[in-house]
Structure 1
Amino acid sequence: MKRIPRAVWRAQQQAHEALVDTLTQGQRDRSRAGKSHPVEDFLFTYYALRPAQLRVWHPGAGVALIDADEYDAKRFYTTRIVDGVSLTWVNTAEIATARSGLVALIAGLLPATAEAPAQFGCFGLHEWAMVHRQTDADRRHETWPLRLSAAETDAVVESHQIKCSHYDAFRFFTPSSRRLNLLQPTVESREQLEQPGCLHATMDLYKWAYKLSPAVQSDLLIECFLLARRVREWDMRASPYDLSSLGYEPVAIETAEGKAAYVAMQREFAELGQVLRRRLIQALTEAGLIPVP
């Protein structure tokens, strides 16, 4: 097990805290003011990790911190005196026991998604399906206008073959749009249906990384966070909402040009997501939480 002197890990910890403070400043300011942002706040509203939790630095599994008794009080950490030196490390056996169901889900889902062929024909229509035949008051982002009229928005949904493979996106479809989806994703079918071209599957890398914290090092978690933030922006730019007042130029996926732009960025995100997905699989394999292939 690699040992890190206190001066070294404290410097890493402080750098991480400063970075997170910068990344979350806007969200924290809005939260205090009682305001919200449909793009930037998604990673703190849909996903469960709060800025203060993201700010906590973790070295990841397989690393022992020297003179880090303050971490011994944190869950899943163990401190022992070894050869006269105080060492603190992540107890992955405790994580495996306490989160056995989650570990089993991730151990199956991540490798299956990594090996699945990427699909690029959805054009981000999941966001459109979430507003199909809804009134203004019913929409999730009811304070933001649609780019097209309600009738035109419904027509976009009804004139396309919806191909959403992601359960957590599909469950927000309106009742009228669920029957239009080529697939009917369920919790049980996640492992069979999720694929690396899906923007939500890429964003979820952030979720899986923090849900198995502290076994995942914070550097990797932040990389997943940053990619998820980029994906969320693109996701909402391709949505039916008009967010131009926030500086987001729409991606008009109802046009041929918009579809081409969407697919090009979708391919880029899929490649970036695969790199992080394989790094996450490797980290969890080395931690003993995912079986060696």
Structure 2
Amino acid sequence: MKILLINESTWRQHAKAHQEKVDHLTTEWRQYSASGKKHPTLDFLFSYYNLKINRLRLWSPGPDITLEGEHDGSLLFGHYSQSKKHCQLNPERYPKQRLKNFKWISQLLKQTSERIPVFNCYGVHEWSMIYKSDSKRHEQLPLRVSTKTLDNFVESTPCQCTHFDAYRFFTDDASPLIQHPLSRENQEEYEQSGCLHANMDLYKWAYKLYPFMTGDLLLRCFELAIQCRYLDMQASPYDMSEFKMEPIAVDTSQGREKYISEQHRLKKIADPIRTELANAYDNFIAICNKESTI
């Protein structure tokens, strides 16, 4: 396998640009956090998804790269080995015990790409999470619709949800309304590329492999997750006006058309990322398999 050598000046520029981009993308979230306030859209990216921002800021060139010079706080300490003149990802830190899970993730990504996308779910999952419930998932947010409107939308909209990690938060009354009951065991059968949450989860699959893939790919997944989460909350029954977010009223025909349009736009962004991410997993699996035969 050919190992690419990057000079110190070049890789430090990449590391700095990576950190600056993370800081830019998280400016609003950090401002809210510093004031002790929650942001219902951006907090999700650091609560449901568990990659800490300090780790997100650390750049990686991927496993096939050798860097000239000494590594510092721009890279993930412990994951890099150091010689007198070079540093690179340390093969002893390769999570080989997770190869079985990595193979499953790679397969899931490929099968998701191959399956026919669904564009008529209308974001009903967020509504189903509070259907006929006395509590809300976001207690600090008021609803923008009446309870009657919420119930009518859930009951009149065929539940086409294909994402288990959304379905598992449905209320007990909403769960039976789904057309295809979902489980962790049948996730590979239903996950499809039109799904907002499946595209958001590309960020999760990216950081599970990190730093054994490029920082550039990680940040593209993070940017996509931000866009998906904004659409998620815009189409929800919550009033997001405090956060200057225009609602996408999926309980109306115009709102449903807007939601579908956004689904198509985000799928177009996600498709090449999903392919690149599957390739990154396969590349890392191949590296580990080759090392095990040496």
Q: TM-score, normalised by structure 1?
A: 0.91
* Paired AA for residue 265 in structure 1: E
Whole-angstrom distance in 2 between the partners of 1:266 and 1:29 = 29
SS of residue matched to 1:179: helix
Q: Does residue 191 of structure 1 match 2:193?
A: no
Specify the alignment match of 1:166 in structure 2: 163
Q: Is the 8 A contact 2:240 2:246 kept in 1?
A: yes
Deviates more, 1:191-200 or 1:141-150: 141-150
SS in 1 for 2:85: strand
Counterpart of 1:77 (choices 77, 80, 94) is 80
Output the CA distance in 2 between the equivalents of 1:65 and 1:219: 16
Q: 1:12 to 1:133 in 2, by over 3 A?
A: same
- Does residue 4 of structure 1 match 2:6? yes
Question: Secondary structure of 1:284's match?
Answer: helix
1:222-261 matches, cutoff 5 A: 222-261=219-258
Pick the aligned partner of 1:25 from 21, 24, 27: 27
2:291 corresponds in structure 1 to none
Q: 59, 64, 69: which one pairs with 1:67?
A: 69
Q: Cα 1:95–1:105, aligned 2, differ >3 Å: closer, same or farther?
A: farther
Change (3 A) 1:125 1:73: closer
Asked if 2 retains the 8 angstrom alpha-carbon contact of 1:20 and 1:55, the reply is: yes
Amino acid at match of 1:230: Q
Aligned to 1:89: 88
Aligned-pair CA distance for 1:232: 0.8
Counterpart of 1:99 in 2: which secondary structure?
helix
Q: Deviations over 1:175-197 (max 9, x none)?
A: 11001011211111111110000
In 2, Cα distance between equivalents of 1:290 and 1:46:
31
- The offset of 1:94, in angstroms, is 4.3
Residue 128 of structure 2 is matched in structure 1 by 129
The whole-number CA distance in structure 2 between the counterparts of 1:129 and 1:183 is: 15
Within 2, Cα distance between the matches of 1:290 and 1:274? 25
Output the amino acid matched with 1:4.
Answer: I
Instruction: Give the % identical residues.
Output: 39
After superposition, the CA RMSD in angstroms is 2.1
Report the alpha carbon displacement of residue 31 of structure 1 after superposing the two structures with TM. 2.1
1:134-175 alpha-carbon deviations (Å, 9 max, x no partner): 12xx21111111111112211110111111110111111111
**Residues 30-52 of structure 1 deviation map (CA, whole Å, 9 limit, x = unaligned):** 22322101112221111101111
The residue that corresponds to 1:45 in the other structure is: 47
> Structure 2 CA distance, aligned partners of 1:119 and 1:104?
25
Aligned to 1:108: 107
Aligned partner of 2:60 in structure 1 is: 58
Residues of 1 paired with 2:262 and 2:207: CA distance?
Answer: 25
Q: Which residue of 1 aligns with 2:117?
A: 118
1:215 offset after TM fit, Å?
A: 0.9
Do residues 218 (structure 1) and 220 (structure 2) align?
no
1:96, 1:109 → 2: CA distance? Answer: 19
Unaligned runs of 5+ in 1: none
5+ residue gaps, structure 2, are: 289-294
